[in-house]
């Protein structure tokens, strides 16, 4: 039977635990502080690479990239022999081909790239007779076709019944403002707030994935330590839901809540080119941006050796037989899952980051990943296809704790707190009494 309370999942893109905890303690984010006073809080782990398309797909499917198959912001499609670019930067989109990149980010990621064995939270809930909603979430695959609002566009997107995606797709007329103007002033979160207010007022869902991306935009530009104004705007978007329900008490009576981020962010102090280490090599393709990179080519062990001493690589990861290998400056750690845990040989300090063995193993098991995956040193960002970076601002994507540890708050779910972002979807399904698919159990 469906749970009495409906559930709202709030994901504030790029929010770090330190910023969240300070905002709650000082009261500078009153809506989040209110929820924290009535819930349970902990720190959890992201997936790897800790980049938004990968992370949101992990949250929406309850699986790591070995199941959902989204490998990075930018990757090489072996079957189509081309680079897929979801949006590392506007210049990178142009470098990869603007029309193709837009189609990849809006349609192909969900229709073609997202693994067929993965089950999204919307699919699972609506197959059980519930109504799911999603606001601005890039991983949105559902059963209901939605026509685009752009004049002349006809290709539908298949999402949940309540589906709102940056004014491009809207399942209902809400009167929300245009989402894409004034991004630095929080226009997309303001759009989400208007839609969320409309949905709560009409009791229009059983589950709502409420995604707020503007904080991450500000953190990229200013750095994770200078984002108080951006968090205030995100908090106002959460406050809009509480207000629409009739106030704090009424909100808690109606809704259970999960608040988390998809990944952290760290300060960018230096930039490096992963491509430089492979200049002149034929049949080697490098895709990199933010704080993760992939190399596609034969003999990954030899490719990894080329990165010994490189400023672009803290650790290089590849598969060799039934083992994975982590390499840094000539030192190696070999690992694989065993019957009672991880079997390792070599220097374990090479992968002492949070949940690193599982996250690295699952990233390498993604069929769309490069033969070599690179996590750069602290403070280093890898330039994208157009040579762009966030130097002086913030970035994410690596295995490092600053990129990978996230705040997790639950309200109305007893003592349960997801320890990883891949645990969020199973907790939501458990709340509604819906069985997770076999793909989730395997993950």
CA distance 1 to 162: 21
Q: What is the mean pLDDT of the chain?
A: 94
Q: Do residue 14 and residue 37 come from a single domain?
A: yes
Give 296's DSSP letter. E
The per-residue pLDDT for range 86-132, each reduced to its tens digit, is: 999 999 999 999 999 999 999 999 999 999 999 999 999 999 999 99
State whether 120 and 229 are in the same domain: yes
Asked if the structure places residue 300 within a domain, the reply is yes
* pLDDT tens, position by position, 371-412: 999 999 999 999 999 999 999 999 999 999 999 999 999 999
**Are residue 40 and residue 160 in the same domain, yes or no?**
yes
Q: Give yes or no for residue 317 having a pLDDT over 90.
A: yes
Are residues 280 and 191 located together in one domain of the fold?
no
| Residue 322 lies inside a defined structural domain of this protein | yes
The residue ranges of DSSP E strands in 276-368, in sequence order, are: 285-289, 292-296, 315-320, 323-328, 331-337, 342-346
In a domain, 282, yes or no: yes
What is the number of structural domains in the chain?
Answer: 2
For residue 49, is the peptide bond before it cis, meaning its omega torsion is within 30 degrees of 0? Answer: yes
Give domain status of residue 326, yes or no: yes
Helix or strand run (H / E) with residue 254:
helix 248-254
Together in a domain, 330 and 377: yes
Q: Measuring CA to CA, which residue among 231, 228, 226 is closest to residue 214?
A: 231
Predicted TM-score (pTM) of the model is 0.95
Residue 364 domain flag:
yes
Q: CATH number of the domain that 31 lies in?
A: 3.40.720.10
Same domain, 135 and 250: yes
Single out the residue in 363, 389, 415 at which a domain terminates: 389
Q: Let me know whether 280 and 259 are in one domain.
A: no
* Within a domain: 86: no
The two tokens of residue 253 are: 């009576």
- Determine the pLDDT at residue 438: 39
pLDDT in tens, 28-84: 999 999 999 999 999 999 999 999 999 999 999 999 999 999 999 999 999 999 999
**190 with 161, same domain?**
yes
Residue 132 shares a structural domain with residue 150: yes
> Nearest Cα to 211, choosing from 67, 8, 375?
8
The predicted-structure confidence for 170-222, as pLDDT tens digits, reads as follows 999 998 887 665 555 668 999 999 999 999 999 999 999 999 999 999 999 99
- The predicted-structure confidence for 232-244, as pLDDT tens digits, reads as follows 999 999 999 999 9
Asked which of 389, 412, 431 is the last residue of a domain, the reply is 389
Confidence of residue 442 (pLDDT cuts 50, 70, 90): very low
Tokens coding 406? 């996230």
Q: Are residues 183 and 49 in the same domain?
A: yes
Helix 214-222, helix 187-201: angle, nearest 10: 160
Output the pLDDT for position 184: 57
Same domain, 219 and 291: no
Please report which confidence band the pLDDT of residue 227 belongs to, taking 50, 70 and 90 as the band edges. confident
Q: pLDDT by residue (tens digit) across 273-296? A: 999 999 999 999 999 999 999 999
Is 81 inside any structural domain? no
Q: Does residue 341 form part of some domain? A: yes
The domain boundary, picked from 389, 409, 425, lies at 389
pLDDT given for residue 228 in this prediction: 87
Does 279 lie in the same domain as 168? no
Q: What domain range is 405 assigned to? A: 6-70+114-266+399-442
* Percentage with pLDDT > 70 across the chain: 96
């Amino acid at each position: 039977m469906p749970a009495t309370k409906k559930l709202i999942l709030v994901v504030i893109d790029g929010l770090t635990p330190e910023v969240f905890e300070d905002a709650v303690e000082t009261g500078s984010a009153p809506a989040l502080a209110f929820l924290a006073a009535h819930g349970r809080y902990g720190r959890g782990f992201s997936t790897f690479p800790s980049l938004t398309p990968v992370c949101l797909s992990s949250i929406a499917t309850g699986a790591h990239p070995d199941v959902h198959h989204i490998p990075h912001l930018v990757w090489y499609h072996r079957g189509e022999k081309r680079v897929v670019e979801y949006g590392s930067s506007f210049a990178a989109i142009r470098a990869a081909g603007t029309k193709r990149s837009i189609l990849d980010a809006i349609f192909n990621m969900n229709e073609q790239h997202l693994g067929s064995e993965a089950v999204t939270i919307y699919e699972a809930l609506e197959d059980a007779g519930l109504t799911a909603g999603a606001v601005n979430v890039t991983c949105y695959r559902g059963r209901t076709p939605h026509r685009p609002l752009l004049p002349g566009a006809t290709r539908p997107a298949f999402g949940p019944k309540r589906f709102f995606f940056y004014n491009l797709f809207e399942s209902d007329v809400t009167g929300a403002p245009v989402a894409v103007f004034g991004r630095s002033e929080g226009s997309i979160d303001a759009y989400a707030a208007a839609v969320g207010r409309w949905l709560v007022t009409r009791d229009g869902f059983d589950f709502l994935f409420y995604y707020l991306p503007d904080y991450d935009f500000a953190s990229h530009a200013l750095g994770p330590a200078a984002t108080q104004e951006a968090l205030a705007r995100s908090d106002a978007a959460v406050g809009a839901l509480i207000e629409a329900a009739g106030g704090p008490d009424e909100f808690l009576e109606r809704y259970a809540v999960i608040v988390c981020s998809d990944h952290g962010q760290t300060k960018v102090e230096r930039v490096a080119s992963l491509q430089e280490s492979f200049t002149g090599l034929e049949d080697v393709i490098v895709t990199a941006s933010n704080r993760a990179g992939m190399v596609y080519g034969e003999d990954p062990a030899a490719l990894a050796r080329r990165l010994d001493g490189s400023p672009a690589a803290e650790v290089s990861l590849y598969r060799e037989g039934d083992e994975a290998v982590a390499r840094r400056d000539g030192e190696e750690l070999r690992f694989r899952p065993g019957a009672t845990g991880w079997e390792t040989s070599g220097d374990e300090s090479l992968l002492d980051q949070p949940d690193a063995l599982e996250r690295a193993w699952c990233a390498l098991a993604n069929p769309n990943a490069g033969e070599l995956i690179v996590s750069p040193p602290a403070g280093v960002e890898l330039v994208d296809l157009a040579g762009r970076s966030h130097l002086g601002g913030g970035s994410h994507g690596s295995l490092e704790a600053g990129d990978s540890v996230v705040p997790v708050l639950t309200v109305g779910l007893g003592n349960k707190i997801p320890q990883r972002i891949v645990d969020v979807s199973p907790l939501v399904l458990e709340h509604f009494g819906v069985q997770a698919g076999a793909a989730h159990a395997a993950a």
